[in-house]
Amino acid sequence: MKQKIKFSLLYRDMWQSSGKYQPRVDQLSAVAPHIVNMGCFDRIETNGGAFEQVQLLYGENPNAAVREWLKPFNRAGIQTHMLERALNGIRMYPVPADVRRLMYKVKKAQGVDIARSFCGLNDHRNLELSVKYAREAGMISQAALSITHSPVHTVDYFMGVVDHVVEYGADEICLKDMAGVGRPASLGELVKRIKKKYPGMIVQYHGHSGPGMSVASMLEVARAGADYLDVAMEPLSWGMVHPDILAIQAIMKDAGFEVPEINMDEYMKVRSLTQEFIDDFLGYFIDQRNRQMTSLLIGSGLPGGMMGSMMADLKGVHQGINAALKAKGKPELSEDELVVWLFREVEHIWPMMGYPPLVTPFSQYVKNVALMNIISLVNGKERFAMIDPNSWDMLLGRAGTLPGPLAPELIALAKNEGKEFYDGNPQDNYPDALDGFRTEMEQNGWPLGPDEEELFELAMHDRQYRDYKSGAAKSRFLKEVEDKKAEMLQGGQVKVSKKQLLPAPEDGTALIYSGATSTYWPEEELLTAGGEVKKGEILMYLMIGKSIREVRSDRDGVVNKILVKSGDKVKKGDPLIEYRQ
């Protein structure tokens, strides 16, 4: 009897790995029946991760979007799975335990069958509650291994994680090869070991196509006994996304596996609709480099899913880096040269930072430190002059145990800055919080929603949810789309608005304001009270979501006061600097 291979379509992740946004609920509802009619998918990855934040950014109710999107799959008997980040839930930073617990109850009620749970550090302690709460809610618990390749990430290492999550009660195991850098033979050996030690355990493989190795990995894990393979489809397959169902089905069929047939008329319909969504507005937010594959990723290990934010970061600091190089009489860098430098810097500092698997959010942390190192180096300073608070939390153990040891210079830096290392359970740092959010909803007259799903949304994405309720999110999104259209019409040239800086009053002082909700992340030596600044000079850096942005002066002046300190959360419109002309 032939071994059966089943497929899961990553319709959510296809978009996240390509650009900033994903389809609206009306678009998702239009494409869902045709995905069903393709007849080749036993599972669909439908939500989780960035999905619900995106719906909030649109000004849409994410709970209504999830319920509507899942209906056709639920009716057809196709299993749906979500992606969640264990300690971080479906956001980028830690979540209280009571909010995590409510998430599974809500998602099960909305029609999600499987919770794929991963800890970016592979710390089994962070996965324990994910397994417990998913099973308690009646969901299938799929514990995911964050796959990467390093001296410490051996088959024995990953089997140690598997042993713990099986002990906690995980129903399935996923190999989450988020950067596609897992070596095929090693992944095959890992699957073989899992199947031998835990007969009957379902194993699913997820591998991005960016470096070009995941097709070979799929064949190896299938031969070792894997049950499900995650795939994408045109026009968003390959590049930084995932291999296409057509290619993988043909490969598996030729290798002697039993695979489902594909209704090509429906494939073409889904392909056509997806292209329509790109042409509508989503394509404005897809960097064309994300459509390409590059084996340079093998060295850096960066995942395809963060390439969009990385390219935005590089665009944001490219001019400043070249200005610093030019001032020192050094040749300026093209964008491609800067990309290669960033890859090399990530490769250099990754072992120093303890080999955290480069998956959300830890890939962003390592990339951010690498990028700030480059900025420091071109300005004649040392590496690690700037480390943001989230990266420090990772380095100090507050997010979990790092797989490898920290470099001595980072340990010394932490000691010099009075920072303390933490070896307790990360969840203990984040006390329950639902009661406070429940009170806020009552005071605002907001309904808790079916199964308390609206309460969950506020507790998980509080800032975005408030913006959704006020209407600010939709207004901001519509303006962003119009700005993107205008940018395209201008041939990609963005006009810099000066509205952030108010006209100087009669006494000669002026304030510069934050243009977005963000985190203040200065390089102290760039800006000091009493220092002179020139028009176009970098004043500071802000971290907006996953991205780093420069704040520049639009005039000559003298710094009077710096109104924020490192790590401060600043809201749109908050004053940052006071200076006089």
Query: pLDDT value at position 513?
Result: 58
Low-confidence ranges of the chain (pLDDT < 50): 492-508, 523-525
Query: pLDDT value at position 503?
Result: 41
Query: pLDDT value at position 498?
Result: 38
pLDDT in tens, 462-490: 999 999 999 999 999 999 888 888 877 66
Query: pLDDT value at position 509?
Result: 53
Query: pLDDT value at position 376?
Result: 86
Query: pLDDT value at position 520?
Result: 52
| Per-residue tokens: 194 | 């899992």
CB atoms within 10 A of CB 292: 12
Q: For 508-535, b where at least 16 C-beta lie within 10 A, e where not — what string?
A: eebbbbbbebbbbbbbeebbeeeeebee
pLDDT in tens, 560-575: 777 777 667 776 667 7
Strands 518-520 and 569-570: antiparallel
Q: Is 95 buried (19+), middle (13-18) or exposed (0-12) by CB count in 10 A?
A: buried
Which strands, in side-by-side order, build the sheet including 575-580? 509-513, 575-580, 557-562, 532-533
Domains by residue range for the chain, with CATH: 6-286 (3.20.20.70), 297-429 (no CATH), 434-489 (no CATH), 509-580 (2.40.50.100)
* Residue indicated by tokens 């340990």: 411
Q: Is 402 buried (19+), middle (13-18) or exposed (0-12) by CB count in 10 A?
A: buried
Strands 228-231 and 114-118: unpaired
Query: pLDDT value at position 306?
Result: 62
Query: pLDDT value at position 120?
Result: 92
pLDDT in tens, 434-458: 999 999 999 999 999 999 999 999 9
Start-to-end CA distance of the chain, whole Å, equals 81
Prediction pTM value: 0.83
CB atoms within 10 A of CB 228: 23
